[in-house]
Structure 1
Amino acid sequence: MTYMKNKIFICCYILCVMITACKKDVLNKTPLDSYTDQSVWNDLSLAEAFTNNLYNVLPNAEHNWDNTTNRTWALSSASDEAYNKFDDYNASVMNSGSLTPDNLGNFDIWAPTFGIIQNCNIFLSKIDNVPGDQARRDRLKGEVTYLRAYAYFKLIRDYGGVPLIKEPFNLNSDFEKGRNTYDECSNFVSDELDKAAGLLKNGTTTYGRVTAAAALALKSTVLLYAASPQWNPTNDQAKWTKASDAAKAVIDLPFQLFKGNYADLFTTKNSELIMVRLTNKQYMWSAFQGVEMFLSPSGFHGWASFAPSQNLVNSFGMADGKEITDPASGYNPQQPYANRDPRFYQDIVYDGRPFGKPEFCKDRYNVGSTNAAEFYEGGLDSPQGWDKWNNSVTRYTFRKYCDTTYNFNDETQTNKFWVISRLSEIYLNYAEAQFYLGNNAKAIEYLDLIRERAGIKNKLPTTLSGTALENRIRNERQIELCLEGHRYYDVRRWKIANVTENKPLMGVIITKNGNGSKTYNYVQVQTRMFKPEHYLLPIPKSEMNRTKLTQNPNYTN
């Protein structure tokens, strides 16, 4: 998409770093509860503390309430993946087709993300003159280069081309900046990630901090987006070659698909994780920030706030690798949870699935129940059950990302991480790029590696090609990466959101019959509407009021 040069007023964000200190020298005249700008840029440890704060640009595994830079679960409920009962982050304006420049609410990331870019620019303008060890200085510079690139990637995948601001604003700055094209922004981000990788050398093992591998992995995703139909309508093969090469560069690094229990991939440190954002329970104020509280069924006293849709459940195929729409698959809608893709059992809590340790839910056993979810009408996790105001409207909850080794009702939290990049995503990136380059066999090879890891023994037919193979690649991403923030953007970059997001969001009503059998009635949970303008977010009205920017297509200022 090509944009006319427009003028944008970007407010200058004031740096304020508050760090509690404890000094033995009581005569030290420097304030003990804060540091001046001059102090920060004369002490490498303070510069590192400044860097640590910039990591807030990355999503994490907490529910941060009104923190608009962190839309992890909200991205699922703003796509066909999930339903959010309590409308966190204003996803309803996306789903109802009512999105305008002045009602984005907590879904808008424009101002806070540009604020982080300003602070990154301040850091990068100062760090070379901070005294201290050169290797440490390069590491911090590499981390911040990555974090600024990540911030720009967040902006361009939401809004398209944005102003590329590479120097910090001050009171004497010219605040009028033109809006760059998407390709200009994408190329800048890619180049910056190369620069970050060079500064960070070949690091691949610093868990939770930016490494060279993390930079190269993000580059793979950035170039995949740039090559996709939304931003590559002419199917320029050079863009797909860049995307393929970037993915292969990461595949050649010493990471491996995690072969242990699939659910543990998202709760334990393992060989597949390239970049994660860590969360330390020491700094969490209560379980009300935690994954388990928000995702668990109501009969376990969770909130079931972000619940998988039947649409997502239907995307999981059968254990033999066939899709449920295949007449030869053996799928029975009245026995819907039998013989499904092994990932279904690891990602989704469905009626009859055990959840958590029995000792964590003694109250269920005390009334003659078990730790198996009861989403059927009258069950403990149904609208007629316990904590009924928190029941799952779709009659499913997410198992993925939940740590079931502790009791979230009694213990504050466990240390968590949110996946930023992992190897299977890179495999999927590579398979997609290879497909668009005409290398079907290579695409199938990498899809089979992911499916084999998942426990599907049957390989894909070697004759798969064209639309059938394209759909299989997209289906694998939908399953493998669910609840990881990809689906919302995937359907947009593929230019299929007008189909996927215009379908009703579905759930299931389960009736337990007198003979113990159950009847499954699939019902509409929410009407969804997607308009052509929704492929991009509108630039917020508050910004438009200060500028002469041209709004994104089809929005009214």
Structure 2
Amino acid sequence: MKKILHTLLFLCTVLALSCNDDFLDQEPLNRLDESAVWDDPILVDLFLNSIYGNLLSSRARLDQPQGNEWSRSFSSLDCASDDCDGKLDAFIQNYLKNTITPSSDAHFSEQWREGYSLIRKASVLIDRVDEVPTNDPDINAQMKAEARFLRAFTHFELAKFFGDVPIIDREYTLNDDLLVSRSSFEDVISFIVSEMDLAIPDLPNPDVKSGRATKGAAMAVKAKALLYLASPLHTPGGDAARWTAAADAAKAVIDLNAYSLHSDFARVIRDKGNAEIIWDRQFSAPNRTTNTSYMWEIADAGPDGGGWGGLFPTAELVNSFETTDGRTITDPLSIYDPNRPYENRDKRLEATVIYNGQIYKGFRVEIWNDDDDTFEQLTDDGQHAIDLPGAGNKITTGYGLGRKIQNEELNTNALVNQGDDGNDVFIRYADILLMFAEARNEASGPDAAVYDAINQVRTRAGQPDLTVGLSQTDMRDKIINERRVELAFEEHRLFDLKRWKLAPVYLNSPMRGHRALPVDLAQAQNYNLDRENNQSPYRIDGGAGFTYSEFDLPGRDRTWDDKRYFFPVPQAEIDKNPNLLPQNPGW
């Protein structure tokens, strides 16, 4: 809303300064003739900016029905996977319980509504930008290419959600037949690829880190679209040619030599404009922020910097991080110690998850269970954050969302409540490397190029190279896990499980948490009250003085239903356009 107001003010200023008559005699902005926009390059660029501003992402998506702006940022589709519990996320819980219907007003209805609104705006610009007077035709060509990119990218997002969707490739008027039928997923991907190929020549080079479309971003989205098409959900039985096309498209991004892995994994999302980011939605304080700083934050993480506790990583996710010797924690040869479960682990774990005994926002966070079997959550400044069974923001899994996603610099309630301006990353270079490794492995097996791509990602994390000689199946399993730990909480996991057709394997059992029980409960409770015993193991070491065990989260049973491979087409859209039938299977 703030951006809209600033845009309107700017447009008013442009109109006033560009006219010789008294600006009080001008037509009000809300009745401005649409043709005036296409007569002014500045207004056209602002129109393009507004399209960027309408992109949906995990930090900017409604959780509650339309109009509940307070719930924006309150959702992450990762909580519909096995990586996280969406404690306060009503839509996600209903999705997991199979209780949503095509009439539900939630994520999927907003995705359709806002997606096609954006596509319409992009189509208007594409069809009209050639009318805009300019001394530099390259500027108009670039704006058209950016709009074409945004239209194609949004078609891809819609196809991820719904499968078969209508292709809108031009501006529609009231005189046109507006009852457009759905096109097949394969046809949608072909459209996306052709649109990106048209856009790429007129887009700026990848060294532009402005949050707008570049050649590299278009090439990366093209590669991802081809990867989805080749995946088992859309190509049952496999097709080596499709996998090869996806691998070649990802390799083309790599060969640009424009991107590299950021040196600090924990800062890969937080450090804006770093060389790993290929395509993101950008936010900027104070005018464009999100609510994730308090909606996703654990309660009282630090002396005065708590949140609502909306996202809690699961034990399944934590267990997927290897030990530093490159083995799984279930490997009897690994160096994993169940009594000190967070020592000698892949360093990405410490950046992704807040766990018992971790230092976060300058304080040691303690998350453990007492005699009522509810999680205590304290910080070593002496504050007692949560001690009420059933509290709305109480930790459910034993874990909080880590510094890779959350802003550790927001360490007071005042800063937390101002909102976060962290960007939403759609594609980064590590994703491209893993996409290439996956597609190449599926097309021709685990050759040296596959090892090189995945080992680059592992090396940045401090993990050893994979053992040479893996079978295609073993390499596939390694890539599946590598994507999970590398890209956690970037909204890839749910769609990865679906396209791999592994959702019935991973999403058909209760969510699990990790319980820390004090060895000496009385000492822990006394320390809980006065925090005077500085030598207590509960103060000096979050690993000592506890026994750890896993448990099923109450009320978080998951039963997979194949209809959930795709979201339902919103009933409100079918009521307006019966040609959207048939509904997706099972809905």
* Same fold, TM-score > 0.5, yes or no: yes
State how 1:433-452 maps to structure 2 within 5 Å. 433-441=439-447, 442-452=449-459
Residue in 2 that maps onto 1:200: 203
Q: Cα–Cα, structure 1 residues 305 and 297, in superposed 2: closer, same or farther, change >3 Å?
A: same
- Cα distance in 2, alignment partners of residues 395 and 480 from structure 1: 21
Which of residues 344, 355, 378 in structure 2 aligns to 1:339? 344
1:154 and 2:135 aligned = no
The code of the aligned residue for 1:463 comes to G
The two structures, once aligned, show a CA RMSD in angstroms of 2.4
State how 1:31-46 maps to structure 2 within 5 Å. 31=27, 33-34=29-30, 35-46=32-43
The code of the aligned residue for 1:349 comes to I
Residue in 1 that maps onto 2:548: 520
State how 1:75-474 maps to structure 2 within 5 Å. 75-88=77-90, 90-103=91-104, 105-108=106-109, 109-132=111-134, 133-269=136-272, 270-284=274-288, 289-300=290-301, 301-357=306-362, 371-377=363-369, 379-381=376-378, 383-384=386-387, 388-399=391-402, 400-411=404-415, 412-413=418-419, 415-441=421-447, 442-456=449-463, 458-474=464-480
Q: Cα–Cα, structure 1 residues 403 and 336, in superposed 2: closer, same or farther, change >3 Å?
A: same
- Cα distance in 2, alignment partners of residues 317 and 131 from structure 1: 58
- Cα distance in 2, alignment partners of residues 46 and 351 from structure 1: 52
Which of residues 37, 44, 48 in structure 2 aligns to 1:47? 44
Contact 2:442 2:472 in 1 (8 A): no
Q: Cα–Cα, structure 1 residues 415 and 159, in superposed 2: closer, same or farther, change >3 Å?
A: closer
Deviations 1:165-209 (A, max 9, x none): 212221111123222111110010011111111111534323211
- Cα distance in 2, alignment partners of residues 284 and 512 from structure 1: 43
- Cα distance in 1, alignment partners of residues 467 and 219 from structure 2: 32
The code of the aligned residue for 1:528 comes to R
Deviations 1:128-172 (A, max 9, x none): 111113121111111111110111001111111211121222111
- Cα distance in 1, alignment partners of residues 487 and 93 from structure 2: 22
Contact 1:204 1:212 in 2 (8 A): no
Deviations 1:284-313 (A, max 9, x none): 47xxx3333223221322222111111111
Q: Which sits farther off after the overlay, 256-265 or 298-307? A: 256-265
Contact 1:95 1:529 in 2 (8 A): yes
Residue in 1 that maps onto 2:517: 511
Deviations 1:361-382 (A, max 9, x none): xxxxxxxxxx111111254347
CA shift for structure 1 position 238: 1.3
Q: Cα–Cα, structure 1 residues 259 and 46, in superposed 2: closer, same or farther, change >3 Å?
A: closer
CA shift for structure 1 position 333: 3.0
- Cα distance in 1, alignment partners of residues 348 and 340 from structure 2: 18
| Residues matched between the structures, number | 522
TM-score by length of 1: 0.88
Residue in 2 that maps onto 1:537: 567
The code of the aligned residue for 1:294 comes to M
TM-score by length of 2: 0.84
CA shift for structure 1 position 256: 3.9
Contact 1:61 1:279 in 2 (8 A): no
- Cα distance in 1, alignment partners of residues 297 and 179 from structure 2: 48
Contact 2:74 2:310 in 1 (8 A): no
Contact 2:508 2:560 in 1 (8 A): yes
- Cα distance in 2, alignment partners of residues 145 and 129 from structure 1: 16
Q: Cα–Cα, structure 1 residues 307 and 481, in superposed 2: closer, same or farther, change >3 Å?
A: same
The code of the aligned residue for 2:496 comes to D
Q: Cα–Cα, structure 1 residues 387 and 492, in superposed 2: closer, same or farther, change >3 Å?
A: closer
Which of residues 26, 31, 42 in structure 2 aligns to 1:30? 26
Identity across the alignment (%): 29
Secondary structure of the corresponding residue to residue 359 of structure 2: coil
Question: 5+ unaligned residues in a row in structure 2: which ranges?
Answer: 1-6, 67-71, 371-375, 379-384, 524-536, 538-544
- Cα distance in 1, alignment partners of residues 116 and 559 from structure 2: 30
Residue in 1 that maps onto 2:586: 555
Q: Cα–Cα, structure 1 residues 481 and 223, in superposed 2: closer, same or farther, change >3 Å?
A: same
The code of the aligned residue for 2:344 comes to N
Question: 5+ unaligned residues in a row in structure 1: which ranges?
Answer: 1-16, 358-370
- Cα distance in 1, alignment partners of residues 583 and 550 from structure 2: 37
- Cα distance in 2, alignment partners of residues 334 and 95 from structure 1: 32
CA shift for structure 1 position 107: 3.5
- Cα distance in 2, alignment partners of residues 63 and 151 from structure 1: 15
Secondary structure of the corresponding residue to residue 245 of structure 1: helix
Residue in 2 that maps onto 1:486: 492
Query: Which structure carries more relative contact order (alpha carbon 8 Å, separation 6+)?
Result: 1
Q: Cα–Cα, structure 1 residues 68 and 450, in superposed 2: closer, same or farther, change >3 Å?
A: farther
Contact 1:91 1:107 in 2 (8 A): no
The code of the aligned residue for 2:414 comes to D
CA shift for structure 1 position 212: 0.9
CA shift for structure 1 position 123: 1.1
Q: Cα–Cα, structure 1 residues 201 and 209, in superposed 2: closer, same or farther, change >3 Å?
A: closer
